[in-house]
Amino acid sequence: MNEVEYQKHYYPGTRNELVARLREQLSKFRFEHVIRVEHTAVKLASRYGIDEEKASVAGLVHDYAKECSDEQFKAVIQSEHLDPDLLNWGNFIWHGEVGAWIIGQDLRITDQEILDAVRFHTVGAPHMTPLQQLIYVADFIEPGRDFPDVATARAVAQTSLEQAVVYETKHTLTYLMANDRPIYPAAIATYNAWIGKRK
Ligand code: GDP
Ligand code: FE
Ligand code: FE
């Protein structure tokens, strides 16, 4: 795939410079995941007429904070006066919701749509722009994912981004409930908002 050339300053540097930051910040395993998410996101962006440069930046940075320590997340929740209920959850919520703030600081990204794409990438949101839908979906269907229904999720993503959001949301909640895992309240809000769009 041709790499996206950065021209719009969503990230204040080149794509190669951003990739170098991620290589430093992440384990090899997770670095390779974010590269696959970026490629998946850019392909979907091209298919659906969404800004490919935003898709590239958001895809690359979405898990930037995933390997931060619990202490680091808790310190940000306190210093930035984020919702104290966040303290009752863990890395899987923090790396998106709190990670967006860390990304803004560390990588000097200010575009709110991109930062919210990071915030929403794990549990979604009732209202997501096409870019935010695309990151939520690309993370779920990138070629390294191999859960049983991933082929269906990929096929749905080729025909409708919105239907792919519905499919993923339903699938994730079903999986969590089947495994006796707690459901983050925002994930239920996402489900309620999107299930009505099911065709
Ligand atoms: P990743 O960062 O690329 O691994 O993917 P995600 O950010 O989408 O998901 C991180 C983890 O959070 C996954 O293992 C999900 O199954 C899990 N997860 C997503 N929503 C919830 C939730 O509401 N409750 C719980 N307990 N886990 C969740
Ligand atoms: Fe993630
Ligand atoms: Fe991810």
- Check residue 172 and give its pLDDT: 97
CA of residue 122 to ligand 3 center, whole Å: 8
Mean of per-residue pLDDT scores for the chain: 97
Q: How many CB atoms lie within 10 A of CB 57?
A: 28
Q: How far apart are CA 124 and CA 104, in angstroms?
A: 19
Q: How far apart are CA 66 and CA 27, in angstroms?
A: 10
Assess whether pLDDT exceeds 80 at residue 198.
Answer: no
What burial letters (b/e) apply to 131-149, b meaning 16+ CB within 10 Å? Answer: bbbbbbbbbbbbeeeeeee
CA of residue 143 to ligand 2 center, whole Å: 15
Q: Is the shortest distance between the CB of 147 and ligand 1 below 6 Å? A: no
Report, as an integer, the average pLDDT of 25-50: 98
**Tens-place pLDDT, residues 79-126:** 999 999 999 999 999 999 999 999 999 999 999 999 999 999 999 999
Q: Is the shortest distance between the CB of 62 and ligand 1 below 6 Å? A: no
**Amino acid type, 139:** D
Report, as an integer, the average pLDDT of 17-22: 98
Q: Which atom of ligand 1 is nearest to the CA of 30?
A: 3
Q: Which atom of ligand 1 is nearest to the CA of 175?
A: 16
CB contact at 8 A, 40 and 141:
yes
**Amino acid type, 173:** L
The pTM (predicted TM-score) of the whole model is: 0.96
Q: Which atom of ligand 1 is nearest to the CA of 37?
A: 3
